[in-house]
Amino acid sequence: MQLTFHGQSCFEIHHEGSKLIIDPFLSGNPLAKAKPEEIEVDYILLTHGHGDHVGDTVEIAKRTGATVIGNNELATWIGFQGVEKVHPMHIGGSHTFPFGRMKLTQAFHGSAFIDEEKQEITYLGMPTGILLNLGDKTIYHAGDTGLFSDLKLIGAQNEIDLALLPIGDNFTMGPEDALLAAEWVQAKKVVPMHYNTFPLIEQDADDFVRRLQEKNIDGRVVQPGQSFEL
């Protein structure tokens, strides 16, 4: 399968004819090389309701007819925005889709739509991580999260081929905690995400990967716009 990193926490996945995108934050993302109108997908997977993750979901879904998958409150709210196809789930639940099996996991963070002009915050359910079983590969997208001990359980229950872990600090795990998370989930490969999009989350991803390798963990820095095979 082919994965493309679009910056922040956005990954596009092409697998056996299915096209998925996770957290499509492109407009307003200074690192993104792709534009929303260039994205052609069948499914949009959301980890939580913050603007830098929901991003261009509504625009892309309306144009492509993609199904939006996320926690119940978030998926319902996306439907309220005029998106016709949504699939609500929740933490601990899994479902088999045409592309493979998806399960939502815990993540320790927030999840809301913030209207700065009206100074209103709309609660959009619990934040989540995503476990994807695609063919014989398992991908774990941690979403926005701090370090939590049940990452060990996620690693024990799943043979994870690729873990996508935030390293930006301030809003999520920083590099030190992400190193622990990488050990706990026992992934065969780790790719850092959620860093360098804004000054507040600037990190040295190359140094993070070097430190992973010191722990005998395979890590890789993927630049925005770059694709790789799994």
Q: What is the pLDDT of residues 74-95, one digit of tens each?
A: 999 999 999 999 999 999 999 9
DSSP annotation string for the chain: -EEEE-STT-EEEEETTEEEEES---TT-TT--S-GGG---SEEE-S--SHHHHTTHHHHHHHH-PEEEEEHHHHHHHHHTT-S-EEEE-TT-EEEETTEEEEEEE--S--EEEETTTTEEEE----EEEEEEETTEEEEE--S----TTHHHHHHH---SEEEEE---SSS--HHHHHHHHHHHT-SEEEEES-SSSGGG---HHHHHHHHHHTT--B----TT-EEE-
Q: What is the mean pLDDT of residues 69-78?
A: 98
Fold of domain 2-222: Metallo-beta-lactamase; Chain A (3.60.15)
Prediction pTM value: 0.97
